[in-house]
């Protein structure tokens, strides 16, 4: 898997890598995270972030987008080549496109500066809960085109493995469990992210777009995950 993926959360000591070049933010956020009992390492540039990601094996990386050396987008791109470690992006930018780009590249969450340190800690806890609460007792879900195995957190389409991130699997699994029912963005946020996302329901659209690219025959006319205008999304693969 490379680096410290979500499976490592079974370990007793949670490791957080905080990457930001603003000392005041680093000092404040580190204090809040360490108060929760997390082991925190920090980096102030892109190359340093990649080195620590490899050597420190973090469970969560809090990653600023505006970094010297390599920006956060490039760091995220390189991380995703080797790891599915949870990544929470930080940025002073407020443009919707920055959020969408980061999420599309594989980030799990996004906080815009200025932010409350308590909110950031809540987001980190939610990411860690998602790894801990992956219910290994869930039975496999078998449909005509797709098969989901929650114990292995694996998906097959027409018997061919599909590579999904832990978050993408959780989102697809939530829809598949309620096959034929419309789930709103708010319901999906609650089921997958597990907390009030402060109105950022666009994150659902972005991640479902990533999933569709991996499982649909034609993304322009999805058949497995359909959009119900004004209501949400519905999983429509036929059960076996």
Largest CA distance in the chain: 56
Residues 72, 66 contacting (CB under 8 angstroms): yes
Fold for 141-235, please state it.
Arc Repressor Mutant, subunit A (1.10.10)
Cα 44 to Cα 26, 125, 169, 214: the distances in Å are 9, 23, 32, 34
| Domain ranges, ordered by start, for the chain | 6-132, 141-235
Please state which of the ranges 38-47, 84-93, 207-216 shows the lowest mean pLDDT.
84-93
Residue 144: band (very low, low, confident or very high) from pLDDT cuts 50, 70, 90: very high
6-132 and 141-235, same CATH topology: no
Distance CA(151)–CA(139), nearest Å, equals 8
Distance CA(55)–CA(6), nearest Å, equals 16
Q: Which of 41-45, 127-131, 166-170 has the highest mean pLDDT?
A: 41-45
Task: Give 73-139 as a DSSP string.
Answer: HHHHHHHHHH---EEEEEES---HHHHHHHHHTT-SEEEESS--HHHHHHHHHHHHHHHHT--TTSP
Distance CA(66)–CA(40), nearest Å, equals 20
Residue 45: name the closest of 82, 26, 72 by CA.
72
Q: How confident is the model at residue 195, as a pLDDT?
A: 60
Mean pLDDT of 97-125: 87
Residue 8: band (very low, low, confident or very high) from pLDDT cuts 50, 70, 90: very low
Domain 6-132 matching CATH 3.40.50.720: the answer reads no
């Amino acid at each position: 898997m490379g680096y410290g993926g979500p499976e490592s959360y079974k370990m007793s000591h949670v490791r957080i890598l905080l990457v930001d070049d603003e000392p005041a933010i680093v000092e404040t956020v580190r204090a809040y995270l360490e108060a929760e009992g997390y082991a925190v390492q920090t980096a102030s540039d892109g190359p340093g972030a990649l080195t620590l990601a490899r050597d420190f094996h973090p469970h969560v990386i809090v990653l600023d987008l505006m970094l010297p050396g390599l920006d956060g987008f490039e760091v995220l791109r390189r991380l995703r080549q080797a790891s599915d470690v949870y990544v929470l992006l930080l940025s002073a930018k407020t443009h919707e496109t920055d959020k969408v780009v980061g999420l599309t590249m594989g980030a799990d969450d996004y906080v815009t500066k200025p932010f409350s340190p308590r909110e950031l800690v809540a987001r980190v806890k939610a990411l860690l809960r998602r790894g801990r609460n992956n219910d290994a007792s869930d039975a496999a879900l078998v449909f005509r085109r797709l098969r989901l195995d929650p114990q292995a957190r694996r998906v097959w389409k027409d018997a061919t493995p599909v590579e999904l991130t832990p978050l993408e699997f959780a989102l697809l699994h939530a829809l598949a469990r309620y096959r034929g029912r419309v789930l709103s963005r708010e319901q999906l946020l609650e089921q997958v992210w597990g907390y009030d996302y402060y109105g950022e329901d666009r994150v659902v659209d972005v991640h479902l777009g990533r999933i569709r690219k991996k499982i649909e025959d034609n993304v322009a006319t999805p058949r497995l995950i359909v959009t119900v205008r004004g209501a949400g999304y519905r999983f429509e693969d036929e059960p076996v």
